[in-house]
């Protein structure tokens, strides 16, 4: 911002004092705005750097997990899927947990943006090798934690049923 020109000297001392106070207030406001902008830019840079580091670490672990997932038997995955689907259907009939609600309450924080290699919601390519391991393996990973993901997504207050419902919701969006 261009410097504010000093007001013409006034013969009235009160006017001169008022003009000086206004100039000082404008300068302080401009300085505060510049400091706020600089702080915001620094925070944005730090956030981006942390996200980039987490993504790099997650990418490496995801590649290892994907390789292991590919080696899993399709027959075992189909059997586990059928058993899990039956359990999921029974849970729904008995007043099931809303997996989408659980997802929107916690899981989205990593799975919407892919933090630390988390497969994004609806990304079929990223979810395919995980789905191939079967729902039991996915449930176990989400309950106990795997790679960068902590157990129960970092919320130990969630019930096993809530965690599994969130996993089932994410899987349904990737099929």
Domain spans of the chain, in order of start: 54-174
Question: Could you tell me which residues come within 8 angstroms of residue 39 by beta carbon, excluding any fewer than 6 positions away?
Answer: none
**Mean pLDDT across the chain, nearest whole number?**
76
- Cα distance between residue 49 and residue 156, in whole Å: 28
Give the residue-averaged pLDDT of 56-73.
59
What are the angstrom distances between the C-alpha of 36 and each of 4, 25, 78?
Answer: 20, 16, 56
- pTM (2 d.p.): 0.48
Cβ neighbours, 10 Å, residue 109: 14
- The tens digit of pLDDT for each residue in 96-152 reads 789 999 999 999 999 999 999 999 999 999 999 999 999 999 999 999 999 999 999
Question: In terms of CATH, what superfamily is 54-174?
Answer: Cytochrome c-like domain (1.10.760.10)
What is the chain's percent helix, strand, coil content, to nearest 5?
75, 0, 25
Assess contact for 122 and 174: CB atoms under 8 A: yes
């Amino acid at each position: 911002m261009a410097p504010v020109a000093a007001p013409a000297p006034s013969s009235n001392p009160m006017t001169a004092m008022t003009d000086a106070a206004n100039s000082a207030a404008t300068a302080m406001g401009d300085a505060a705005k510049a400091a706020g902008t600089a702080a915001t830019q620094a925070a944005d840079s730090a956030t981006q750097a942390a996200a980039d580091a987490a993504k790099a670490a997650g990418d490496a672990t995801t590649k290892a997990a994907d390789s292991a997932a590919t080696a899993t038997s399709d027959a075992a995955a189909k059997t586990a899927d059928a058993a899990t689907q039956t359990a999921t259907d029974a849970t729904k009939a008995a007043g099931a947990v809303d997996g989408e609600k659980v997802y929107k309450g916690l899981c989205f924080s990593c799975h919407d943006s892919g933090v630390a290699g988390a497969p994004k919601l609806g990304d079929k390519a990223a979810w395919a090798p995980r789905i191939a391991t079967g729902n039991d393996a996915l449930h176990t990973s989400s309950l106990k934690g795997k790679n960068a993901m902590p157990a129960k997504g970092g919320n130990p207050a969630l019930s096993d049923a809530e965690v599994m419902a969130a996993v089932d919701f994410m899987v349904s969006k990737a099929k």
